[in-house]
Structure 1
Amino acid sequence: MDLDQIRHFVRIAELGSFSRAEAALDISQPSLSRQIRLLEQSLHTKLFARTGRGVTLTAAGAVFLPHAQAILESVSRGETALAESSKGLAGRIVIGLPPRIARVITGPLVEAFRKQFSQASIVIAEGLSPILVEGLKLGRIELALLFNAPNDPQLVLDPLCEEELVLVGHTANRRRLPSQIKFDRLSQFPLILPPMPNSVRASIETARQRAGVHLDIVVEVNTMHAILDLVERRVGFSVIPRGMLLEAKNGKGFEFADIRSPRLLNTVLRATPARLPITKLGRETLALLDRLRVPNLLGARQIAR
């Protein structure tokens, strides 16, 4: 097994076709087929199954793919570290962001990154926190911001800020919200919530189980902006991070109640893999995130370090 074989395997898997991979890699199809055959022999398993339109991964190929991608990412990070040692900051960095954080900070982050590190490239990998954790562990992602990540020996976690969750409704509803509300009273409201494993939903479910109450969940929607749209249409109420109201037309038309007994908090953490050394570009990008003041962008409370 060698890096070219792994690189060719990943490219075919991404494109779903030997012929398309042949063009992308600028290699003849017989040579490409031979490389994959040698890789399959070294792994003692078939990686691809041919179809009428190209190829698909076998079960074994699907298992091997994320590890192959991680190998290539690890090599890329090693090349970045070498480049940094000889001619300053260069190379490529992959940053993982949950969708809501990505929507708020991708613009200022990329703009500041390109201005400060003109010889380097940045990749924003957007996904839910559990998916980003897997990418960190496999080495595909160098650093990430995560919601409510539990302690994990494979990760280095640094709490960054806390978001308070609030009950939100529309000012045109007949039922007006008090300034504060106990958690168990949420059972009296028709709720629009994201499905699991969303971090907001996970916090709500943990509190619900501890309180032993039933919640009237009338709609489940993946994105917070879609949830606020339904709240604006007076379909129901929702539980969202307070900072979301800053994004939603400056909160116009919405009212909220602070949730108590218990308070619901979303913790945002910076995360890097424990088993892989962070590159100089990675360290400088972490410093750049500090200068961007992510807690302020999210409308969250910074955690003192």
Structure 2
Amino acid sequence: MDLRQLKYFVQIAESGNFSRAAEVLRIAQPSLSQQMKNLEDELGVDLLLRHARGVTPTEIGQQFYEHARRILQEVERTREVVRSQTLNPSGKVSVGLPTSACRGLCLPLINAMAARQPNLTLHIVEAMTGYLDDFIQMGRLDVALLYDHKAFEHVAWTEMMVEELMLFAPPDHPVVAQGQVVFADMFKLPIVLPGAPNVMRTVIEQFAARHDVMPNALACDSLPAIARMVGDRRALAVMPHFAFTDEMARGEMVAIPIVDPTPSWRLSVVVSQRTMNPRGSEAVAKVLADVIAELVGAGIWHARLRGERARGDHARAALR
């Protein structure tokens, strides 16, 4: 017995006639009759009473009809739930945002999700990108924004953009008057970076090694503490422009371009394939990618978009 036979039987019982039911079901009448014979043989009972005017359910056939109709209704409800989840995903999705981006990205993401995916609930986790990478691989995060992400088996990603790193100093620091700083000369100043194995530290050290530079720098994994060190003139920070937009707006810091050469890193929106809410995770990843592209397009986030987004197509954020 299968759902098709249940559907056929219900239609016959409601039509009261094999030929009329066959027309509705768009099946040949002999085939429909054979399906009902097979069903009755399998159950070992007569479900239909055949007569000159058509057919009517037997007493047990009427009971079978009630059960079959409820089963088909539940199947249709299940289909509708799945369709609804596809069009309007719901549930909780955990999103990892790196410390350098969380302050500027968190509120625009929350606002965009409320407008575009109101049935989804976000759980935002802020951490250094190295920790976020581990969390996404272990399935502890559904979606994350990662710097210089490496390919792993259980994740899918869309590379969003390239972001240049800059030197941050108090506005009255002598280096600000220079307008820029040469990469090698930068390390003659007191510099603070996140500690190893943070991606920022790895990017700078690998970049320095390729250019025969010794990257001498303090280690601190707290963005607020790094900001405090800059404000107190204890050290200058290397970060992306987006990390200290609030401090720059308040006139507490100045971003100085690093040149000859300029270090940079790539940002990717990453989705765990171990997520328990794949539809929701994909929806969040698309909104996250759109928000990032909008911030870059508005000049709030200083970066170069990759691929289609670099050509101004902010509507598509399909994961590879």
1:117-171 Cα shifts (integer Å, max 9, x gaps): 3333222233232332233233332221111112334322211122211122223
Instruction: Map Cα deviations across residues 221-261 of structure 1 (whole Å, 9 max, x no partner).
Output: 22333323222222232212123342214262534432223
Query: Cα–Cα, structure 1 residues 251 and 239, in superposed 2: closer, same or farther, change >3 Å?
Result: farther
My pick for the range that moved more, 199-208 or 82-91, is 82-91
Distance 2:281 2:275 in 1: 12
1:208 is matched with which residue? 208
With normalisation by structure 1, the TM-score equals 0.63
Which residue of the partner structure matches residue 282 of structure 2? 283
1:196-275 alignment runs, 5 A limit: 196-217=196-217, 219-250=218-249, 252-274=251-273
1:129 lines up with 2:129 in the alignment: yes
Q: Which runs of 5+ in 2 are unaligned?
A: 1-78, 309-320
- Answering whether residue 121 of structure 2 is matched by residue 118 of structure 1, we say no
Distance 1:154 1:235, change over 3 A: same
1:300 paired to 2:274: no
Counterpart of 2:83 in structure 1 is: 85
- Matched AA of 1:92: K
- Name the aligned partner's letter for residue 181 of structure 1: V
Counterparts of 2:275 and 2:168, CA distance in 1:
42
Moved more, 172-181 or 89-98: 172-181
CA distance in 1, matches of 2:287, 2:251: 32
Deviations 1:12-37 (A, max 9, x none): xxxxxxxxxxxxxxxxxxxxxxxxxx
Report the equivalent of 1:43. none
Q: How does 1:174-213 map to 2 (within 5 A)?
A: 174-213=174-213
Assess if the C-alpha contact under 8 Å between 2:163 and 2:265 holds in 1. yes
- Number of the residue aligned with 2:49: none
In structure 2, the partner of 1:63 is none
TM-score, L = length of structure 2: 0.60
Partner of 2:55: none
Secondary structure (helix, strand or coil) at the match of 1:140 reads coil
1:39-74: CA deviations, max 9, x gaps?
xxxxxxxxxxxxxxxxxxxxxxxxxxxxxxxxxxxx
Q: Which residue of 1 aligns with 2:51?
A: none
DSSP-derived class of the 2:283 partner: helix
CA distance in 2, matches of 1:293, 1:175: 31
Q: How many residues align?
A: 224
Which residue identity is paired with 1:227? I
Partner of 1:98: 98
Separation in 1 of the partners of 2:174 and 2:130? 39
- 1:290/1:154 Cα in 2 relative to 1: closer, same or farther (>3 Å)? closer
* Alpha-carbon separation, structure 1, partners of 2:80 and 2:173: 60
Query: Alpha-carbon deviations, 1:268-300, whole Å to 9, x = none?
Result: 101123566972222322232233235535332
Is the 8 Å Cα contact of residues 100 and 223 (structure 2) preserved in structure 1? yes
Cα separation, partners in 2 of 1:182 and 1:302, compared to 1, 3 Å: same
- Residue 108 of structure 1: CA displacement? 2.4
RMSD: 2.9
For 1:169 and 1:277, how far apart are their aligned partners in 2? 44
CA distance in 1, matches of 2:130, 2:81: 32
The verdict on how the C-alpha distance between 1:180 and 1:139 changes in structure 2, with shifts beyond 3 A counting, is: same
Return closer, same or farther for 1:273/1:304 CA change in 2, 3 Å cut-off.
same
Give, in angstroms, the shift of residue 207 of structure 1: 1.7
Shift of 1:197: 2.6
